[in-house]
């Protein structure tokens, strides 16, 4: 058999090579594992993840065979002719299949994307069931045109779908004509990437689901403006704003400005404690805070635990997450249908953060080096209107007398009940977290209760401080945990 790069190989009838036998076993095992995955019930999620990891491992083993034969430097058994044959044969097979599908008059399809071993066929005006039947026919015809074991498999139909760039697409997928409810399937975009944060992936996925189901870009605009309002008003958990990126210390330039944000946070932790040096390729968590005017990103990243402290001098940079992360990710998708998300953000009214979630004035004086420490808390604790610097209540609320005291004390009581409820959860999980002697001090950044309890602690501390200053009660002892 002569390959496109001019190399001759003997057929399997004369002698079957080691690599073909190895790859046949690997690929057949992977197909068996993927078929077993389809038979699992929704309740068998753990087993499904195990099978998925196994089929992915088998796929990677098969893929590195090409790299093994093409490794000219440092390779144990390099064979450049074999590597070139793999590339050329795959390209010829794909180009032949694309030309055949485009020229077929009955299918009336057009290949809009082809890469290595796969292709996307656009079938205009067809339903999902019709596309599945045509796809199965295309797969059988193309398979019959190629020698064994080359086979084209019809994997799924996307209806609808966004095809962004190479290896980046998302849509509602159907795998069989009997499937009535589609499944959300995404490749290469922020919803499945691990180097982003939760607020980006969740917002993007929900926006895509809205558009796929309603086909109305105005509904997406309403949802996004409501979500941005929640972010600006501080009603979303800090957990969704945490980045987790790999750090490889020793591989970066000596200049501090060239270090990635995760490495900056790791270096800060090492200066405080040399034993905090991260392992190679360990994921370091960080958040972006407000900085000085004109500050670079590397100057605005801190450990999430520093932001969660009760007397933390930092404030989450919500505008950075919206303008630099959420909007660019969604613009790449919805820009294909003519949407302008920057304009949507400029059109929406600006939300005001609740007073209890703003920077409080009990921070140490040595840390009050930014102007917003002296301006963010000048709002009424009940209605949010601007007040004088020396007061905590506006003129309208001050006239209400006992009703104001009842409202503030009621809010304090509610926050205390919330703290007791969260304490019970942590006690059940870690064995008495608020008493260090009887339990392990929890610093789990993967626990939603961990973020919620710190948020409630800050709100309770703010309300109780105000209530004490106004004179509603002598003092309020807040038991931190």
Cβ atoms of residues 90 and 103 within 8 Å: no
What pLDDT, in 10s, does the model give residues 1-50? Answer: 788 888 898 888 898 888 889 988 999 999 999 999 989 988 898 999 99
Sign of CA dihedral 103, 106, 110, 115: negative
* CATH number of the domain residue 30 falls in: 1.10.287.690
Total domains, the chain: 3
pLDDT, average across residues 358-375: 46
pLDDT, average across residues 447-451: 89
State the pLDDT confidence band at 430, using cuts at 50, 70 and 90: low
* CATH number of the domain residue 313 falls in: 1.10.132.60
Residue closest to 260 by CA, chosen among 241, 274, 281: 281
What pLDDT, in 10s, does the model give residues 84-134? Answer: 888 888 899 999 999 999 999 899 999 998 887 889 999 999 999 999 999
State residue 158's pLDDT score.
Answer: 94
Top pLDDT among 349 and 156 is at 156
Percent of the chain surpassing pLDDT 90: 45
pLDDT at 481 over 50: no
State residue 359's pLDDT score.
Answer: 43
pLDDT at 221 over 60: yes
State residue 392's pLDDT score.
Answer: 67
Asked, for residue 218, whether it belongs to a domain, the answer is: yes
Cβ atoms of residues 359 and 234 within 8 Å: no
243 & 106 share domain: no
State the pLDDT confidence band at 390, using cuts at 50, 70 and 90: low
Top pLDDT among 291 and 429 is at 291
Q: Tell me the C-alpha distance between 348 and 222, whole Å.
A: 10
212 & 292 share domain: yes
pLDDT at 226 over 90: yes
88 & 47 share domain: yes
Of the residues 352, 386, 408, which one is the last residue of a structural domain? 352
CA distances in angstroms from 293 to 59, 296, 299, 363, 372, listed in the order given: 49, 9, 11, 21, 12
pLDDT, average across residues 217-227: 95
For the chain, report the end-to-end CA distance as a whole number of angstroms: 73
Cβ atoms of residues 426 and 453 within 8 Å: yes
Of the residues 317, 352, 387, which one is the last residue of a structural domain? 352
Residue closest to 362 by CA, chosen among 461, 224, 436, 448: 461
State the pLDDT confidence band at 364, using cuts at 50, 70 and 90: very low
What pLDDT, in 10s, does the model give residues 59-81? Answer: 999 888 877 887 766 667 788 88
Domain hosting residue 90, numbered range: 1-118+142-152
Asked, for residue 110, whether it belongs to a domain, the answer is: yes
91 & 52 share domain: yes
449 & 308 share domain: no
Cβ atoms of residues 412 and 463 within 8 Å: yes
What pLDDT, in 10s, does the model give residues 232-267? Answer: 988 899 999 999 999 998 888 766 667 899 999 999
Residue closest to 433 by CA, chosen among 397, 394, 481: 481
Asked, for residue 312, whether it belongs to a domain, the answer is: yes
pLDDT at 271 over 50: yes
Contacts of 336 by beta carbon, 8 Å cutoff, 6+ apart:
162, 164
CA distances in angstroms from 240 to 171, 198, 232, listed in the order given: 24, 4, 14
pLDDT at 356 over 60: no
76 & 20 share domain: yes
Q: What are phi and psi of 411, to 5 degrees?
A: -65, -40
State residue 329's pLDDT score.
Answer: 95
H or E segment and range at residue 467: helix 448-470
312 & 440 share domain: no
Asked, for residue 284, whether it belongs to a domain, the answer is: yes
Asked, for residue 45, whether it belongs to a domain, the answer is: yes
Asked, for residue 168, whether it belongs to a domain, the answer is: no
State residue 408's pLDDT score.
Answer: 80
What pLDDT, in 10s, does the model give residues 325-353? Answer: 999 999 999 999 999 999 999 998 876 66
Asked, for residue 186, whether it belongs to a domain, the answer is: no
Average pLDDT of the chain, as a whole number: 84
Most confident residue range from 77-86, 314-323, 357-366, 455-464: 314-323
Instruction: Show the 3-state SS of 78-104.
Output: CCHHHHHHHHHHHHHHHHHHHHHHHHC
Asked, for residue 123, whether it belongs to a domain, the answer is: no
What pLDDT, in 10s, does the model give residues 278-312? Answer: 999 999 999 999 988 888 888 899 999 999 988 88
431 & 309 share domain: no
Helix (H, G, I), strand (E, B) or coil at 22: helix
240 & 101 share domain: no
Top pLDDT among 229 and 469 is at 229
State residue 17's pLDDT score.
Answer: 86
387 & 267 share domain: no
State residue 343's pLDDT score.
Answer: 95
CA distances in angstroms from 389 to 65, 194, 378, 401, 472, listed in the order given: 70, 44, 6, 20, 19
216 & 263 share domain: yes
Q: Which of these ranges, 142-156, 182-196, 354-368, has the smallest mean pLDDT?
A: 354-368
Count the residues in the chain: 481
Contacts of 175 by beta carbon, 8 Å cutoff, 6+ apart:
155, 156, 157
Of the residues 105, 130, 152, which one is the last residue of a structural domain? 152
State the pLDDT confidence band at 370, using cuts at 50, 70 and 90: low
- Please tell me what DSSP assigns to residue 125: T
DSSP secondary structure string for all residues of 354-404: -GGGS--TTS-GGG--SGGGGTTT-B-TTT--B--TT-SS-HHHHTTTHHH
Q: Tell me the C-alpha distance between 139 and 143, whole Å.
A: 6
42 & 88 share domain: yes
State residue 371's pLDDT score.
Answer: 52
DSSP secondary structure string for all residues of 295-344: --GGGSEE-HHHHHSTT----B-HHHIIIIIIHHHHHHHHGGGT--HHHH
């Amino acid at each position: 058999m002569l390959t496109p790069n001019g190399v001759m190989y003997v057929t399997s009838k004369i002698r079957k090579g080691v690599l073909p036998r190895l790859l046949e076993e690997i690929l057949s095992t992977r197909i068996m594992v993927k078929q077993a995955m389809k038979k699992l019930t929704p309740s068998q999620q753990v087993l499904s993840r195990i099978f998925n990891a196994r089929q992915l491992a088998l796929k990677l083993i098969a893929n590195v065979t090409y790299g093994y034969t093409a490794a000219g430097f440092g390779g144990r058994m390099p064979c450049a002719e074999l590597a070139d044959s793999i590339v050329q044969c795959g390209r010829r097979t794909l180009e032949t299949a694309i030309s055949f599908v485009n020229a077929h008059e009955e299918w009336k399809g057009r290949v809009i994307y082809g890469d290595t071993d796969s292709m996307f066929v656009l079938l205009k005006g067809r339903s999902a069931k019709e596309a599945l039947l045509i796809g199965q026919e295309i797969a059988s015809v193309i398979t019959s045109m190629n020698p064994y074991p080359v086979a084209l498999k019809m994997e799924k139909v996307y209806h609808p779908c966004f095809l962004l760039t190479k290896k980046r697409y998302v849509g509602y997928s159907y795998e069989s004509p009997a499937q009535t409810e589609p499944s959300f399937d995404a490749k290469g975009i922020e919803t499945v990437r691990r180097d982003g944060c939760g607020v980006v992936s969740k917002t993007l996925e929900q926006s895509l689901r809205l558009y796929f189901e309603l086909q109305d870009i105005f509904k997406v605009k309403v949802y996004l403006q409501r979500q941005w309002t929640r972010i600006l008003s501080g009603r979303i958990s800090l957990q969704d704003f945490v980045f987790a990126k790999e750090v490889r210390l020793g591989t970066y330039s000596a200049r501090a400005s060239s270090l990635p944000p995760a490495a900056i946070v790791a270096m800060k932790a090492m200066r405080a404690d040399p034993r905090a040096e991260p392992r190679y390729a360990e994921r370091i968590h960080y958040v972006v805070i407000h900085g000085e005017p004109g500050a670079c990103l590397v100057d605005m990243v801190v450990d999430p635990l520093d932001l969660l402290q009760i007397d933390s001098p930092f404030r989450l940079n919500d505008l950075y997450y919206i303008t630099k992360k959420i909007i660019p990710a969604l613009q790449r998708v919805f820009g294909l249908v003519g949407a302008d998300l920057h304009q949507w953000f400029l059109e929406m009214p600006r939300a005001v953060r609740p007073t209890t979630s703003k920077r409080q004035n009990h921070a140490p004086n040595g840390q009050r080096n930014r102007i917003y420490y002296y301006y963010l808390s000048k709002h009424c604790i009940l209605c949010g209107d601007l007040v004088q610097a020396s007061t905590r209540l506006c003129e309208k609320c001050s006239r209400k007398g006992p009703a104001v005291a009842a409202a503030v004390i009621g809010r304090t009581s509610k926050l205390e009940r919330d703290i007791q409820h969260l304490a019970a959860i942590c006690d059940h999980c870690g064995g008495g977290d608020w008493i260090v002697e009887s339990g392990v001090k929890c610093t789990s950044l993967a626990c939603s209760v961990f973020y919620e309890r710190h948020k409630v602690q800050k709100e309770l501390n703010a309300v109780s401080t105000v209530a004490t200053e106004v004179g509603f009660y002598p003092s309020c002892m807040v038991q931190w945990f």
